[in-house]
Amino acid sequence: MRRDFLTFGGALRRGCVAGALALALNALPAMAQGQRASSGILAVIPFTVDSGHIFVAPLVNGRPASFVIDTGSGVDVVESESAARLGISASPQGDSAVVTGTGGTARAYFATIARIQLGSVQIAKSPAYLLHVAQSVRCDGLLGYEFLRRYLVTFDFQRHVMILRRPGAALPGQCVIPFVLSGGVPSVVGEAGGWPGRFLIDTGYGGTVVLNAPFVAKYHLRDRYAQDGRMVAGRGIGGRTQSDLVQLDSFQLGRVPVDGILAELTRQTQGAFAASGVAGTIGIEVLDRYLVTLDYPGGRMILAGSGARP
């Protein structure tokens, strides 16, 4: 099995699609301007999901682009091969940083996006990194914490829309899970196999749960869970990744039990999945079971849906 990752770690945390999107937009239920304003809604943005990644179609400096919404990235990223077409160049000083991804490290260059528009939301002079991400997924870039931090962000996977609300707006959902930002990435408490830890919420990861190498070693998870030889090979920022697939006997997202988790026990010795600061990462195949809202200003995740009960 192959899986490509867009999860970032370490220094990067802080420090084709158009036609389908048009169809999704036409399918949205009508909402009057007054209704949106009273509910705090700033924009309703259609998306498509391809290979476990959420694709949207922003205008970057007035030019159409294809970006991935990646809550696992603490910054916004522009694919270096797309930068010239989108009117973006590295800072004149040539400032750069070594960033850590799931597969290892890579060098990224500082830049500024003069204007980015997604639906009715527009942001000027937004900082970003120039980085080659096409080895993981074909896109023009990633919208992460730098873009999302201003909003209450709801992912409606049934309707395939992302809703941006202003801070303080009323939110749907019956289960509230506090989060803290780990380098710009939301992380929540949870349990894997009864063992507690803190897990990143990452829409750039297309699987269910990946458990970091130190967590796997600390609780001897390879000894606890029978392995039948199933493996996941992929590529992330910084290089290749490899994991063993196991069926967890239990998993909790906050206090919400999540059934049927086929988790990845990473074999990484470098990169984000080798970090000891968190237990692991929760991806799209868990999140898409719910209506998920990330309240960035308020530091909370709100879940709605039949399974979103402790």
Its pTM stands at 0.85
Residue ranges per structural domain of the chain: 8-165, 175-304
User: Chunked in runs of 10, what are the mean pLDDT values of the chain (310 residues)?
Assistant: 46 36 40 60 97 96 97 94 95 78 76 96 96 79 96 96 94 88 95 97 94 95 80 63 88 95 88 88 96 96 79
Q: Using H for helix, E for strand and C for coil, what is the string for the chain? A: CECCCCCEEHHHCCCCCHHHHHHHHHCCCCCCHHHHHHCCEEEEEECEEECCEEEECCEECCEECCEEECCCCCCCEEECCCCCCCCCCECCCCCEEEEEECCCEEEEEEEEEEEEEECCEEEEEEEEEEECCCCCCCCCEEECHHHHCCCEEEEECCCCEEEEECCCCCCCCCEEEECEEECCEEEEEEEECCEEEEEEECCCCCCCEEECHHHHHHCCHHHHCCCCCCEEEEEECCEEEEEEEEECCCEEECCEECCCCEEEEECCCCCHHHCCCCCEEECHHHHCCCEEEEECCCCEEEEECCCCCC
Q: Does domain 8-165 have CATH number 2.40.70.10?
A: yes
The domains spanning 8-165 and 175-304 adopt the same CATH topology: yes
| Domain 175-304 class, CATH top level | mainly beta
